[in-house]
Amino acid sequence: MLTEHPWNRVLEHIGHNIQDGCAEVLALSYNDLPIALRPCFLYFGLFPEDHEIRAFDLTNMWIAEKLIVVNSGNGREAESLVDDVLNDLVSRNLIQVAKRTYDGRIS
């Protein structure tokens, strides 16, 4: 699980790479996110700009970091939960999809 120190590095990295006007817009979008999605969105700051990240890899990383918790009682699989998070972030124009599967899922 990421501790406070790595998150501060992510914040510094984001802060140095965002121009003045963009920071305010990004802050509004971030603050509008549901609390549960905020760490998932911040996780993208660990990757270089324009880096393609596979949904499969995110699923494994987010489960390992406990950002996505699979509850056996709700019957939902991790992939389904990650799909929901990614689709929400895409619909808010916070991330871009590089590839989709034949059935339209983010890959």
In a domain, 99, yes or no: no
In a domain, 105, yes or no: no
DSSP string, 58-98: HHHHHHHTTSS---TTTT--HHHHHHHHHHHHHHTTSS---
- Quote the domain boundaries for residue 36: 4-91
In a domain, 101, yes or no: no
Q: What is the mean pLDDT of the chain?
A: 85
Total domains, the chain: 1
In a domain, 102, yes or no: no
Model confidence at 38, pLDDT cuts 50, 70, 90, reads very high
Report the predicted TM-score, pTM, of the whole model to 2 decimal places: 0.76
Share of the chain above pLDDT 70, in %: 82
Burial of 52 (0-12, 13-18, 19+ CB in 10 A): exposed
In a domain, 75, yes or no: yes
Which 3 state secondary structure label does DSSP give 107? coil
